Structure 1
Amino acid sequence: MEHNGESQVETGIYNCGISSVLAMRLRQIVIALTYIFIFSLPWRSLILIGPISISEIVGMGLAIAFIIYRLREPFLSFSPSFHVPLVAFTGVVIASTYWSVNPKRTFSYAIPFLSIFVLSIIIYDVYDSKVQVQYAITSFVAGVGVSITILVFNFLTQRTWIAGRYSIGSISGNVLAGLIVIGVLSCIFLIQTSRIFSNEWIEKGTNGLLIFVGAMAVSLTGSRAGFVTLTIVIAYFFVCEKRNLNRSRYTIVFAVAVFSMIFLSITLFASQQTAERFASIITDGINDNLKYRIVIWKTGFAEFQNNPLIGNGWGTFGPVTEATLSQTYPGDFIPQRAHNAFVTIASELGIAGLLPFALLLLGCGEILRGFSVHEGFFWLAILLVLLFLLSVDIWVTMTTPYLFMALLHTYKNSTEISCP
Structure 2
Amino acid sequence: MPLNLAKPVTDAATLPPRLHWLEAEQACSALWRSERGGSPPKRVVLADDTLSADSAYRLACAGTGLLWRGDFQNARQLLQAIARRIDQVPKRKRIKAAQAVPITEAFNLHRQAQAQRARTLGMLLVELDAGYHLALRRAPDVTAACTEAWGESQVEGGSSVVSLRELLGVTSAHEWRRVGVEIAALGEAPGNRIHPHYGVYSPVRGEYISLVASAHLPKPPKGQTGITAFDLGTGTGVLAAVLVHRGVSHVIATELEPRALACARDNVARLGLQDQISVLQADLFPPGLASLIVCNPPWLPARPGSPLERAVYDEGGQMLKGFLAGLASHLAPGGEGWLILSNLAELLGLRTRDALLAAFAQHGLRVVSRIDAKPQHPKASDANDPLHQARARELTSLWRLALQKPDAAAGHDPEAAAD
User: Under TM normalisation by the shorter chain, which class is it?
Assistant: under 0.3
* Structure richer in helix, relative to its length: 1
TM-score, normalised via structure 2 length:
0.21
TM-score, normalised via structure 1 length:
0.21
* Structure richer in strand, relative to its length: 2
Q: Which has the higher contact order (CA 8 A, sep 6+)?
A: 1
